[in-house]
Amino acid sequence: MKYLFIFSVTIAMVFSACEKIIDINIPPQDLKLVVNGLARMDSTKLEVNISKSLSILELDDNLQQINNAQVVLKENNNAIGQMLSQGNGNYMLSNLAFNPNSTYSLEIIHPQLKSAQAKFRFPAKPVFTITDTAYIMKTEYGYTRSIFRIDMEIDDPANERNYYRVNVGFKYNSYYLNEYGDTIWNIGNNKLPLFQDEQSSMVSSSTDFGTLVFADDFFDGKKHRMYIDVDSDLMMYPDSTPVSVTLERITEDFYKYEITLTNYLANRDGIMVQPVLVHNNIENGFGIVGAMSQKDSTFIIRTFNDFKNTQKIRH
């Protein structure tokens, strides 16, 4: 034990003697515009956020929003409107009618920073159907719980890579009792957390809670059957509650941004992992401007307690 103690002290002294502070001379980098936005085909407005990039030694608390930029939206290289600052780096342009066959671009001009540009086109609207719904019992780690499973079929276009996001939501977010004791639901869109479907290599979106992201790598040009699961405890609401499944087709740039951002957030605090570069489609800047088209399928569900009294539950 005595020799072990002496050995441990010696090792500690050796490592402490090797400690040395090295000043690294990092040359200053040109700061750039950071632009983030997602254009929706069915929307009549476009919103983006603009900020200034940080140097490698700056903290996130030093993030500076840009409110004095000139942001022009172009359709097929023709200017169709200038986005207006809403404060906190947010810009918006309303009364739009997007054309699925057009190419759009954003040009961002700032008095002190280099101008930045971004281009995008809208994917075609996805085609899918809900083929079945059921409550199933699922056992994991010795715990059994009820799951609400939604089976769906995607009709994927052939000879092209396609990228998707899917989410499930209730069409309300809160309720109250009126003077007669009736339950009054306030309408909203309350997205639910989904379990990943291993069949289609889904990942959870880092930009949109309750949304799963995937590509057609394993079913290009085919009718693809898949399922998504929701914890049935979240489905304990009146039968009159509409549930909406939303499938979005997104651009390749936005898909790559979602995947790399997820990997970056998962690894950014690790000291033994390889750095992850987040995908960027901003020319002379950083960030992402993506585009998407969506289709919704809405239906009424039966509560689990009501369902199990009249139907068999799948295992």
Cβ atoms of 254 and 288 within 8 Å: the answer is: yes
- Helix, strand, or coil (residue 7): helix
The pLDDT score that the predictor gives to residue 245 is 93
Cβ atoms of 223 and 156 within 8 Å: the answer is: yes
Q: Could you tell me the fold of the domain covering 128-250+293-308?
A: Immunoglobulin-like (2.60.40)
pLDDT tens for each residue of 68-78:
999 999 999 99
Name the pLDDT band for 180 (thresholds 50, 70, 90): confident
Name the pLDDT band for 237 (thresholds 50, 70, 90): low
Residue 251 has phi, psi (to 5 degrees) of -70, 160
E strand or H helix at 114, and its extent? none
pLDDT tens for each residue of 140-149:
788 888 888 9
Domain map (residue ranges) of the chain: 33-121, 128-250+293-308
pLDDT tens for each residue of 25-63:
555 568 899 999 999 999 999 999 999 988 766 666 667
Whether 106 has a pLDDT exceeding 60, the answer reads yes
The pLDDT score that the predictor gives to residue 27 is 55
Whether 310 has a pLDDT exceeding 50, the answer reads no
The pLDDT score that the predictor gives to residue 127 is 96
More confident site: 235 or 158: 158
The pLDDT score that the predictor gives to residue 169 is 85
More confident site: 11 or 194: 194
Taking CA atoms, 182 is separated from 85, 172, 177, in Å, by: 43, 16, 5
More confident site: 213 or 28: 213
Residue at 124: amino acid letter:
A
Determine the Cα–Cα distance for residues 92 and 47; give it in Å rounded to an integer: 4
Whether 138 has a pLDDT exceeding 80, the answer reads yes
> Radius of gyration over alpha carbons of the chain, in Å?
25
Determine the Cα–Cα distance for residues 69 and 113; give it in Å rounded to an integer: 10
Give the bridge partners for 285, in sequence order.
33
Average pLDDT, stretch 174-179?
71
Give the bridge partners for 240, in sequence order.
none
Whether 174 has a pLDDT exceeding 60, the answer reads yes
**CA-angle at 248, arms to 242 and 252, nearest 5°:** 165
Average pLDDT, stretch 288-314?
71
The pLDDT score that the predictor gives to residue 215 is 94
Most confident of 174-178, 227-231, 258-262: 258-262
Average pLDDT, stretch 88-99?
96
Which candidate, 286, 277, 288, 287, places its Cα nearest to that of 30?
Answer: 286
Name the pLDDT band for 299 (thresholds 50, 70, 90): confident
Same fold, 33-121 and 128-250+293-308: yes
Return the CATH number of 33-121, one of 2.60.40.10, 3.40.50.1970, 2.60.120.460, 3.40.50.1820: 2.60.40.10
Determine the Cα–Cα distance for residues 289 and 74; give it in Å rounded to an integer: 14
Determine the Cα–Cα distance for residues 56 and 272; give it in Å rounded to an integer: 19
What pTM, to 2 d.p., does this model score? 0.81
Q: How many CB atoms lie within 10 A of CB 277?
A: 8
